[in-house]
Structure 1
Amino acid sequence: MDRNQAVGLVLIAVLLIGYSLVFKPPVQEQPLVTTDSTTVNTPADIAVEKPQTEAPDAAEQDSVLSSQYGVFASAMNGENNKFQVETEKARYNFSTKGGIIESVELKEYLNHKKEPLILFDSESSSLDLQIGTTHGIIDLTDLYFVPDSQPELVQAGDSTRIVFTATLADGSTVQQTYTLFGDRYDLHYNLKLNGLQNKVLSNEVTWVWEDKMKRFETNLDDARNKTTVRYYTLTEDSDNLKEMSNEAQQENIGEGIKWASFSQKFFNAGIISQNGFTSGTLFNAPVNDTSYVELGRMELKMPVDNLYNGADFTYYYGPNSYKVLKRVTEAYDDNVYMGYKLVSWVNKYIIVQLFSFLEQHISNYGVIIIIIVLIIKLALFPLSRKSYLSMAKMKVLKPELDALKEKTGGDMQKMQQEQMKLYREMGVNPISGCVPLLLQMPFLFAMFFFFPNSIELRQESFLWATDLSTYDVLFNLGFTIPFYGSHVSGFTLLMTLSTLAITWSNNQVSTVQGPMKNIGYIMPVVFMFVLNSYSAGLSFYYFISNLVTFGQQTMIRRFIDEDKIREQLEENKKKNATKGKSKFQQRLENAMKASQEAKKQQQKGRKKK
C-alpha cells in the first residue's frame, strides 16, 4: 500500500469518525536494507556474469570448451535460432540458445506511449539455471538446444508442446518442455536431466531470474510505489519486499516457496513450482532510468534429484486481473491488492463479481461505475434511511436538550445523566444513527482499493478522463502546489463540491452547534488534495455516490413528518413512564456515576496537595 493510500485511509477513517461525532446526539542505495545479517549486493553487482570464452579457431575452441565443460562442451556450440509462437493472448519469442523465452508481448495491452506492451525482453531480463558439475558450475541456459517443432500460432482452446533438447557428448540430455495454451497467460514448463547423475555434484539447482521491470504507466511514481517482488510459501504465507523503498533490499527465505513474481501495478511475471522451491533469496532495488520502474531478482533453489524425473513448473506472464490470477494457483491473486482483510472480502466476493457481470453487457466503464453506485446505494438504503431518521429525531428533541443544558448549568456529567433519562423516556437510541454509518464503512474502504488497482479501468476513457485507472486532468496549472500537484482533477473537484453540499444538507437537521458544526467542511478540502493524483475512477465513484446520497436524503426528508415524529416520541414517553431501565442502560449509568465519583476523588486529592 503506497503513501497516498495510507493517508487516504486515515482521512476516510477520521472523516467517518468525525461524522459520527458531529451528528450523533450530544451524549457527549545507498546503504542496503536486509532482513537478516546477510549482505545485499548493490544493484550494479546483481547481474550474474556468465563465463566468456575466446577461441582463435574452431579446433582450439573445442579443446578449450572440452577442458572447461567436459561432456557439456558439445552443447556449448551451435546456432542461435529464434522463432515466435503466437496465442490469442501473447507473442512468445523463443531462442535455441538456452531454450528460453527471450521476450513476451501482451497482445491485448499497450504501454503508456500506446506502443505494444513488451513485458520483458533479452535486454531487460535474464534467466540462469545453475547446477554444480564435475567441471564446476554450469549454466544450462548457455547450452544450445534443438526444438522438436516451431509452431507459429496456437488457436484459442488449443495447446501445443515445444520440446528443447541439448545432447551432450556422452549421449545424456537436458530437456525443456513448454506447453502453451491458446487462451491463457500461464504456460507449463518441465525441466528434465537424462543420464546426468554421475556428472552433477551439487544437491541443488538454482534459478537466477533477474528482471529490470519496464515502465508501462503514465504515473511513474505511482507505478514504482506499487512494484515489488512477491512470494508465497508452502506454509501458506504471502509476503513481499517492501514497496516504496528508496534503498535496495534483500530477503532470505529459509522455508519452502510455492511461487515468486515480479509484480507491478497492473502486470506481473512469475514462476510457480508444483512441488515448491526449498529456499530462496529475493532482491529489489530502485533505478534512475525512467524507462524502468524497479530492478528485481530472485534466486530459487530446488533439489537436483527432482530434475531426473522431470520437475513441473508454471510460468505466468500477464495482467494483474483478479479473476485471471485466481485460476493460476493458490493465492496468486495476491498480486492484486484488494485491501486489508476487513474490506478485501467486499471486493473479492461482491465488487469483482458485480463488475465482471456488468462488463459482459456494458462497454462504457463510466456507465458501469454509475450502475455500481446505484446498486450499492439501493442495497444500503435501509441503513441510510435509519441514520437520517435518527438525526431527524434528535432535531425534534433539540428543545428538550437545550432545556436540560440550562437546567444542569454546565455540569457535563449531570447533563449526560439527564440526557440518558430523556432518551429512555422518549424511546430514542442515541447511537442508532452511528451504527448504519459503521456498517457502510467496508464498502467505502473497499472502493478505495478496488478502483486504483483495477486493470479493467486501465486506459479506459470517460468524458475528459483518458485513463480511469489514474488521475484525470481537467487543466494543467503550469506550476506545482505542494501536496496537490500541477494539475486539476475534474472528478476530484466535483467530488469535493458535492461533499460540501451534503455536509450543508446534513447540518440542516443536525443538533450540533458552534465550531463542531463547521468541521465537516474541512475534510472535503483535505480529500481534494489527497485524491487529486489518484484514480479518476475512484473520484468519479465518490462524486456519483454523493449525488445519489443527496437525492436519497432529499427524498427521505420529504417523507419525514417532524410532527408525527414528535407524536410518536410522546407516545413512547407515556409507554415508558412505568418501564424500568434495561440492563444496558443501568450499566451505562453506573459507569457514568463511577466516572463522576473518580473525578471527585481526584479533585479532593488535588486540594489536599
Structure 2
Amino acid sequence: MDRNQATGLILFAAVILIYSLFFASTPEMPEVETVTTEQAESNQSNTAGQQTIADTVSENDSTLDATRVAKYGVLATLTVGEEKTLILENDLIQVEISSKGAGVKKVILKEYKSSQMEPLELLNEKSSKMDFLLEGRNGPVDLKDLYFTSSIENSQNEEGVNTKTLTLTSGTESGQIIQSFTLTDGSYQVQKSFEIDRYQGVFTGTELLFNWEDQVIAQESNLAESRRQSRLNYYTSEGSFDNLGAGDDLEQETIGEPVKWVGFSQRFFTAAIIADTDFRNVSVTQSTPEDSAIVRVMTTSLSIPLQDGKVNYTYYFGPDEYKTLKKVTDGFEDNVDMGYFFVSWVNKYIIVNLFAFLEKFFTNYGVIIIIIVFLIKLALFPLTYKSYIGMAKMRVIKPEIDELKEKYGDDATKMQQEQMKLFSKLGVSPISGCLPMVLQMPFLFALFFFFPNAIELRQESFLWATDLSTYDTFFNLPFTIPFYGSHVSMFTLLMTVSQIAYTHFNNQLTTATGPMKNLGYIMPVMFMFILNSYPAGLSFYYFVSNVVTFGQQALIKLFVDDEKIRAKVEESKAKNVNKKKSKFQQKLEDAMKAGETSRKK
C-alpha cells in the first residue's frame, strides 16, 4: 500500500467517525405504533378496532405490519396463513382449489388424455389466473390475498346421486366471507356460491369483479387445426350468441349488454363461467401466442352483481359434446360449431342423434362412419334416382340440341329460346338432373363442419389412422409442398381418386362439354390440397360416399334403358305439339329479347 492509499483510508475513516458522533439520529419508533396512533387521531370511530388489531399484530403475529393494517383494516389478520390445496372430484372431473383466495388451481378431466396420453389438464395454476375483487372502505380487496378454512359435506338427492360441497370460510368477529363449491356425480358443472356475512361498512361495492386469463393448453397434436377451431364465445341475456374470430390477430371487444355466459372453447373442450342471473360490464380479449404449447390466450373481465351480499354462478369444465352442452344452459351447445344456419340443422337433428344411436351397437368409429354413409345414401336414393333420370333425358335428346347449335350457334339468344321450346315440347327440364343434387348439398356441407368438431372421433383409430380427429399420416415427405404440407394423407388420396373416377363415369352419362366437363377433374385435385390436413374421419366419409354413389349410379344404369327413356320423350313430344307457352316461359323469352336488344344498342 503506498502513501496516497494509506492517507485516503485514514481520511475516509475519520469522516465516518465524525458523522456517527455528531449527525446520527436517535432510533425511530416502530412503524406499527406510529401508524396506529395516526389512524386513531384521524378516525375517532375506528380507534378501538384499530388498536385491537395493532395489539394482535404486536403480540401474536410479527408478520403483520402497519401497511397491511392500513390496506385491509379488520381483514388484516386474514392475510396471514398457510396455503393448502383442496380437492373436489366426482367420476368425471377433479378440481383443485386453493385455501388462499378459494380459487380454482387445476382441473383434470378423468375420461380424456392429452395427445401425449397424459392426464388431461384443462387448466392449471400456471396457465389460468382468476382474480376476484371487492370494493372496500380502504380500496379494492383481492380475495386471493385472504386465507380460508375448509369443510366438506357429502349428500345424496332423492334419485340417489351423490353431491359434494366444499365450503371455505374466512372471517373475524366482525363477519365472514363464505365461498362454496358444489359438484354432483356425472356432471362437469361446478356450482359456486359467494356470501358476505356481516362486515358492515367494510365492503362498499355492490358487485364482485372478476378477471380471468386462460392460456389455453394445447391438447391435440395438430396445433393448426386446434387454433382454427378455437375461439372465445359468449351468449347475451337477450339470447344472442357471438364470438371472437378464429384469426391469429389480437381481438378485443366490450359487450354493451348483460351476458349469460362466457366460454373459452378450444375445439374439443371448454372452460366457462355461467351467470345465475347475468354478468355486467363484460369485456373479452383473444390473441395467439408464439408458444406452440398454448393454443390461444383468452381473457375476460366482468362484474357479478351482489344481492344482499350474495351471488351464485357456475363453472363448466368439460368436453364439447353437443348433447352434454345442451343440458347446461341456454345456447351453451353453440360452443360446438355445427356450421352455417342452412346446414346446421342436419348436424343438430340428424347426424348427432345418428351417432349417439350407433354408438350403442358399435365401438369402431370407422364402421360407424360407413353405416352413416349407407343410411344417408339410402334416405336420399329417390333424389339420386331422379337426378340420374334427368341426366339420361338430356343425354337422349343430345342430337336435337346439336342440331340447334349448328343452326343457331352464332345467335346465343335465339339458341336459348329454341332450346326452351325444345325442352317444353319434349317434356324435359334442364334442371331435373341438377336439382336433386342441390338438395343433397346440405348433407355434404354439414359433415364438413361436423367431423372437425366431433369429439367422438378423438383418439379413435381405424385401419392405419391412429386418430380420426386429425389427419392420417401414411408417410412423411422430406420436403414441404406449399398448401399441401409435408405428409401424405392416404384417406385424402383415396377420396381424390374416387372422385375423379366418379366424374369420369358421370361425364359419360351427361351432355357436359368444355370447361364444365373439365371442372369435375379439377375440383377433386383442389380438395386434395385442402383436406390433406383435415381430420381423417372427414376424408374417409367423402371416400366412402363417393364409392357408394358410384355404386348407385352403376346399379341404376343396369335397370334404366335409354331406349325406354327415348320412348317417353317421344310420347311427351306428341302430347305437347299444340302446347302453348307458359307464362314463365313467355316472360323468360321476353327477358332474353330485351337483353339482346340492350346488348346490340
Fold agreement, TM-score > 0.5: yes
Q: 2:187 aligns with which of 184, 189, 192?
A: 184
Cα pair distance change 1:58/1:414, threshold 3 Å: same
Partner of residue 452, structure 1? 452
Structure 2 residue identity aligned to 1:299: S
Q: Which stretch has the larger CA shift, 96-105 or 56-65?
A: 56-65
Cα pair distance change 1:204/1:166, threshold 3 Å: same
- Secondary structure at 1:62's aligned position in 2? coil
- Secondary structure at 1:260's aligned position in 2? strand
Partner of residue 69, structure 1? 72
- Secondary structure at 2:64's aligned position in 1? helix
Offset of 1:551 from its aligned partner?
Answer: 0.2
Structure 2 residue identity aligned to 1:132: E
Question: CA–CA distance in 1 between the matches of 2:222 and 2:60?
Answer: 52
Conserved in 2, the CA contact under 8 Å of 1:94 and 1:103?
A: yes
Partner of residue 306, structure 1? 307
Conserved in 2, the CA contact under 8 Å of 1:259 and 1:272?
A: yes
Partner of residue 597, structure 1? 597
Conserved in 2, the CA contact under 8 Å of 1:86 and 1:152?
A: no
Conserved in 1, the CA contact under 8 Å of 2:154 and 2:163?
A: no
Question: CA–CA distance in 1 between the matches of 2:232 and 2:60?
Answer: 43
Question: CA–CA distance in 2 between the matches of 1:375 and 1:294?
Answer: 38
Conserved in 2, the CA contact under 8 Å of 1:86 and 1:153?
A: no
Offset of 1:90 from its aligned partner?
Answer: 1.0
Structure 2 residue identity aligned to 1:329: T
Conserved in 1, the CA contact under 8 Å of 2:100 and 2:145?
A: yes
Structure 2 residue identity aligned to 1:158: N
Cα pair distance change 1:515/1:138, threshold 3 Å: closer
Partner of residue 170, structure 2? 166
Q: Deviations over 1:229-276 (max 9, x none)?
A: 21111121211122222x333211221011101111111111001110
Partner of residue 388, structure 2? 388
Question: CA–CA distance in 2 between the matches of 1:316 and 1:264?
Answer: 13
Question: CA–CA distance in 1 between the matches of 2:364 and 2:144?
Answer: 46
- Secondary structure at 2:537's aligned position in 1? helix
TM-score, normalised via structure 2 length: 0.87
Structure 1 residue identity aligned to 2:165: R
Q: 1:125 aligns with which of 114, 123, 128?
A: 128
- Does structure 1 residue 157 correspond to structure 2 residue 158? no
Question: CA–CA distance in 1 between the matches of 2:87 and 2:134?
Answer: 28
Offset of 1:329 from its aligned partner?
Answer: 0.5
Question: CA–CA distance in 1 between the matches of 2:387 and 2:59?
Answer: 87
Conserved in 1, the CA contact under 8 Å of 2:392 and 2:509?
A: yes
Conserved in 2, the CA contact under 8 Å of 1:83 and 1:150?
A: no
Question: CA–CA distance in 2 between the matches of 1:510 and 1:479?
Answer: 41
Offset of 1:150 from its aligned partner?
Answer: 7.0
Question: CA–CA distance in 2 between the matches of 1:316 and 1:513?
Answer: 56
Query: Residues 568-579 of structure 1: matches in 2 within 5 Å?
Result: 568-579=568-579
Conserved in 1, the CA contact under 8 Å of 2:175 and 2:199?
A: yes
Partner of residue 22, structure 2? none
Question: CA–CA distance in 2 between the matches of 1:332 and 1:572?
Answer: 55
Question: CA–CA distance in 2 between the matches of 1:151 and 1:529?
Answer: 55
Cα pair distance change 1:364/1:589, threshold 3 Å: same
- Does structure 1 residue 471 correspond to structure 2 residue 474? no
Structure 2 residue identity aligned to 1:125: S
Partner of residue 86, structure 1? 89
Question: CA–CA distance in 1 between the matches of 2:59 and 2:534?
Answer: 61
- Secondary structure at 2:216's aligned position in 1? strand
Offset of 1:307 from its aligned partner?
Answer: 5.5
Higher relative contact order (CA 8 A, sep 6+): 1
Question: CA–CA distance in 1 between the matches of 2:382 and 2:493?
Answer: 29
Partner of residue 143, structure 1? 146
Q: Which stretch has the larger CA shift, 155-164 or 229-238?
A: 155-164
Structure 1 residue identity aligned to 2:353: Q
Structure 2 residue identity aligned to 1:269: A
Cα pair distance change 1:570/1:502, threshold 3 Å: same
Structure 1 residue identity aligned to 2:167: V
Partner of residue 40, structure 2? none
Question: CA–CA distance in 2 between the matches of 1:314 and 1:269?
Answer: 11
Cα pair distance change 1:307/1:179, threshold 3 Å: farther
Question: CA–CA distance in 2 between the matches of 1:215 and 1:152?
Answer: 36
Partner of residue 12, structure 2? none
Partner of residue 220, structure 2? 217
Instruction: Give ranges in structure 1 of 5+ residues lacking alignment.
Output: 1-54, 603-609
Query: Residues 100-115 of structure 1: matches in 2 within 5 Å?
Result: 100-115=103-118
Conserved in 2, the CA contact under 8 Å of 1:87 and 1:153?
A: no
Question: CA–CA distance in 1 between the matches of 2:437 and 2:193?
Answer: 53
Question: CA–CA distance in 2 between the matches of 1:287 and 1:56?
Answer: 48
State which structure, 1 or 2, has the greater radius of gyration over its C-alpha atoms: 2
- Secondary structure at 1:306's aligned position in 2? coil
Structure 2 residue identity aligned to 1:581: K
Partner of residue 585, structure 1? 585
Q: Which stretch has the larger CA shift, 490-499 or 401-410?
A: 401-410
- Does structure 1 residue 239 correspond to structure 2 residue 242? yes
Structure 1 residue identity aligned to 2:307: N
Conserved in 1, the CA contact under 8 Å of 2:320 and 2:336?
A: yes
Question: CA–CA distance in 2 between the matches of 1:376 and 1:501?
Answer: 21
Offset of 1:77 from its aligned partner?
Answer: 1.6
Conserved in 2, the CA contact under 8 Å of 1:148 and 1:164?
A: yes
Cα pair distance change 1:57/1:354, threshold 3 Å: farther
- Secondary structure at 2:63's aligned position in 1? helix
Partner of residue 270, structure 1? 272
Question: CA–CA distance in 2 between the matches of 1:205 and 1:86?
Answer: 26
Q: Deviations over 1:449-490 (max 9, x none)?
A: 000011110111100111111111111112100000000000
Question: CA–CA distance in 1 between the matches of 2:514 and 2:264?
Answer: 53
Identity of aligned residues (%): 50
Offset of 1:108 from its aligned partner?
Answer: 0.7
Offset of 1:594 from its aligned partner?
Answer: 1.9
Cα pair distance change 1:341/1:592, threshold 3 Å: same
Q: Deviations over 1:406-458 (max 9, x none)?
A: 12242221111111111111111111112111111111110000000111101
Conserved in 2, the CA contact under 8 Å of 1:373 and 1:544?
A: yes
Question: CA–CA distance in 1 between the matches of 2:131 and 2:408?
Answer: 80
Number of residue pairs matched?
A: 543
Partner of residue 377, structure 2? 377
Instruction: Give ranges in structure 2 of 5+ residues lacking alignment.
Output: 1-56
Partner of residue 485, structure 1? 485
Question: CA–CA distance in 1 between the matches of 2:155 and 2:478?
Answer: 50
- Does structure 1 residue 254 correspond to structure 2 residue 242? no
Conserved in 1, the CA contact under 8 Å of 2:358 and 2:368?
A: yes
Question: CA–CA distance in 2 between the matches of 1:307 and 1:490?
Answer: 63
Offset of 1:152 from its aligned partner?
Answer: 13
Cα pair distance change 1:400/1:362, threshold 3 Å: same
Conserved in 2, the CA contact under 8 Å of 1:156 and 1:182?
A: no
Offset of 1:287 from its aligned partner?
Answer: 1.7
Offset of 1:196 from its aligned partner?
Answer: 3.0
Conserved in 1, the CA contact under 8 Å of 2:154 and 2:162?
A: no
Question: CA–CA distance in 2 between the matches of 1:463 and 1:427?
Answer: 49
Question: CA–CA distance in 2 between the matches of 1:481 and 1:134?
Answer: 64
- Secondary structure at 1:117's aligned position in 2? strand
Conserved in 2, the CA contact under 8 Å of 1:85 and 1:152?
A: no
Structure 1 residue identity aligned to 2:213: E
Offset of 1:585 from its aligned partner?
Answer: 1.7
- Secondary structure at 2:343's aligned position in 1? helix
Structure 2 residue identity aligned to 1:111: S
Conserved in 1, the CA contact under 8 Å of 2:500 and 2:524?
A: yes
- CA RMSD in angstroms comes to 2.0
Offset of 1:396 from its aligned partner?
Answer: 0.4
